[in-house]
Amino acid sequence: MFKRGRALIVTIIVVAIILANFFSPFRIEQISIRLASESIFQVGSLTVTNTLLCSWLAMLLLVLFGLLTTRKLVDVPKPLSIQNVTETIFELLYRFVQNFAGSRTRALFPVVATFFLYILTSNWIGLLPGFGSIGFWEVHEGERAFIPLLRGPTSDLNTTIALALCSVISAQVYGIRFRGFYQYSSRFVPVKKLVAFFRAPFRGEKASVRLLLGGILDLFIGLLEIFEELTKILSFSFRLFGNIFGGEVLLIVIAFLAPYVASIPFLALEIGTGLIQAFIFSVLTAAFLSRAIAMGHAEIEEDEETGIPLLLGGSQASERSL
C-alpha cells in the first residue's frame, strides 16, 4: 500500500512538471543572447554595466567571506567549520603551487589564490537565481528589449581580458623583482651581446661575426618570447570567456525548451565547469610566474671569443664557484 502511494506521488509530480513546462505563466517565451554586456547606469563618464556591477558584488562577497572566516580563529577548528574548510582548500592549492614554485611559493601564492577565488566566485554567482532573469525593459532601435540587471562577470570578454592582462603583467613584475631588470629583459632583447659587438671597434678589438649572429638569433628568439606573452592574453581570456559564456547560453536554451527539473543536470555541469576553469587559470598563472622567476639549475657563461653560451652544471659549476 505504501509503495503504491509513493508511486502515485511520483507520477503526480512528473505530470505536474510536464504540464508546468507547457502551461506555466512563467515559461520563457523568447530568448535574447548578447555577447556584449548591457549598460545599467552612468556615473559621470563611467558606464556601469551589469557585469561590472556583479564584479563589485563578487569582490564584496570575498571580503565578507574573509571577515567571516577570520572572525574567530582557533588553533584546532571543528571538522565542518568555515575555518577548517577554508584552510583545507588553501592547503591543497598551496601544495599544488609548490610543485611549480618550490621555495618561491610564499611569494607567488597570494597572486595565484586571488585569481582562483575571484574567478571561482565570478563563475558561480552567475548561476544564482535572478542572474539573467531580473532586469528591466527598454526600447532599443525601435524594439522592446530586456536588459538583465545581473550577469556573471566572466561571461563578459572585457573581464576575462582584464584578468589575463593582470596575469601576464604579474609574471613580468615577478621576473624583474627576482631576477633584476637587466637580466630579465635579456630574455627579450640580447643587450649584452649587441653592446659587446658594437663596442668592440672602439676598444680596439675585432668584432666577432659569431657574436653578431648569436645576438641576431637571440633577438629573433626574444621576439618570439614577446609574441608568446601576447598570445597568453588571448588564450587566457578566450578560454575562460568561451566556457562561461557557452554555459550561460546552454542554461538559457534549456530553460526555454524544458525549464525546472531538466535544467538541474546542466546546472550541476556548469558548477563543475566554473571550478575547473578557475583552477586551470590559476595553475597556468602559477606555471608562468615560476618560469619568469626561474634562474635555472646550471650556471650560464659565454665564451669570451665567440660569445657562445656555455653550460656549467654539477661539479663544473661547483669548481667554478670555488
Q: Rounded to an integer, what distance in angstroms lies between the CA atom of residue 153 and that of residue 114?
A: 15
Q: Hey, which residues does 46 pair with through a beta bridge?
A: 43
- Other residues' Cβ atoms within 10 Å of the Cβ of residue 258: 14
Which among 79-83, 149-153, 157-161, 225-229 has the top mean pLDDT? Answer: 157-161
Question: In percent, how much of the chain has pLDDT > 70?
Answer: 72
> What pLDDT, on a 0 to 100 scale, did the predictor assign at position 307?
40
Give the DSSP H/E element, type plus range, for residue 43: strand 39-43
pLDDT at residue 308, rounded to an integer:
40
The predicted model scores a pTM of 0.77
Q: Which of 103-117, 167-181, 183-197, 274-288 is predicted with the least confidence, judged by mean pLDDT?
A: 183-197
Amino acid sitting at position 165: L
Indicate the residue type of 290.
S
Q: Minimal CA–CA distance to 153: which of 145, 162, 144? A: 162
Number of Cβ atoms within 10 Å of the Cβ of 175? 21
Mean predicted confidence (pLDDT) in 33-59: 87
Question: Phi then psi for 173, rounded to 5 degrees?
Answer: -65, -45
Angular region, 79: left φ>0, alpha ψ -120 to 50, beta rest: alpha
For 188, counting Cβ atoms within 10 Å of its Cβ (0-12 exposed, 13-18 middle, 19+ buried), the class is middle
Report residue 318's pLDDT band, with 50, 70 and 90 as the boundaries.
very low
Mean pLDDT: which of 27-36, 191-200, 255-264, 271-280 is highest? 271-280
**Residue 58 CB coordination number (10 Å):** 23
Q: Look at residue 310 in the predicted model and tell me its pLDDT.
A: 42
Q: Which position has the higher pLDDT, 74 or 213?
A: 74
Indicate the domain borders of the chain: 32-295
Closest listed residue to residue 274, CA positions, set 134, 147, 135, 119: 119
Which three three-digit cell numbers place residue 144? 522592446
